[in-house]
């Protein structure tokens, strides 16, 4: 049984509830803790801070970024993904479940565990990376 930390950005709480449900289902049988951050940009930083303690075996980042009328979407989408990728390249098993969509309808389809199940996908990715880490340890 692995200890998994889910870091969720609650900006779109109703969408994140679906992502979280899918992730929890995929992590059934593992010990799961959830912490909340304000937005997607804070997810990689929170994972980095948590990893310093060595308490968790793998991490899942969840959140939703929906395109708006300004360039802010590109910054949040790109930088949150870059931050998670940097953590992964540094050897942390992290599943990226931060959705980047054009509109809320796309986000609903991707977040819903009965449809896209991207929260579950992110959790399964974290577990897969943990297995690879264990294999080469």
Query: What's the chain's average pLDDT?
Result: 96
> What DSSP character marks residue 120?
H
Rounded average pLDDT over 100-121: 98
Binned at pLDDT 50, 70 and 90, residue 37 comes out as very high
What pLDDT is stored for residue 88 in this prediction? Answer: 97
pLDDT 10s digits, 81-102: 999 999 999 999 999 999 999 9
Catalytic residue, chosen from 72, 86, 102, 105, is 72
Does the annotation count 30 as an active-site position? Answer: no
Annotated binding residue 42 = yes
Annotated binding residue 66 = yes
Spell 71-95 as b/e; 16+ CB within 10 A means b.
eebeebbeebbebbeebbeeebbbb
Annotated binding residue 110 = yes
| Domains with residue ranges and CATH for the chain | 3-131 (3.40.50.960)
What pLDDT is stored for residue 137 in this prediction? Answer: 86
């Amino acid at each position: 049984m692995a200890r998994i930390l889910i870091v969720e950005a609650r900006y779109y709480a109703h969408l994140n509830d679906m992502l979280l449900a899918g992730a929890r289902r995929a992590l059934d049988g593992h010990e799961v803790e959830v912490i909340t951050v304000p937005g997607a940009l804070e997810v990689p930083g929170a994972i980095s801070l948590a990893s310093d303690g060595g308490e968790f075996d793998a991490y899942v980042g969840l959140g939703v970024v929906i395109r708006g009328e300004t360039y802010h979407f590109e910054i949040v989408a790109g930088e949150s993904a870059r931050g998670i990728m940097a953590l992964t390249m540094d050897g942390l098993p992290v599943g990226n479940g931060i959705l980047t969509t054009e509109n809320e309808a796309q986000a609903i389809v991707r977040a819903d565990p009965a449809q896209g199940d991207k929260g579950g996908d992110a959790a399964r990715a974290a577990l897969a990376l943990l297995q690879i880490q264990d294999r080469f340890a």
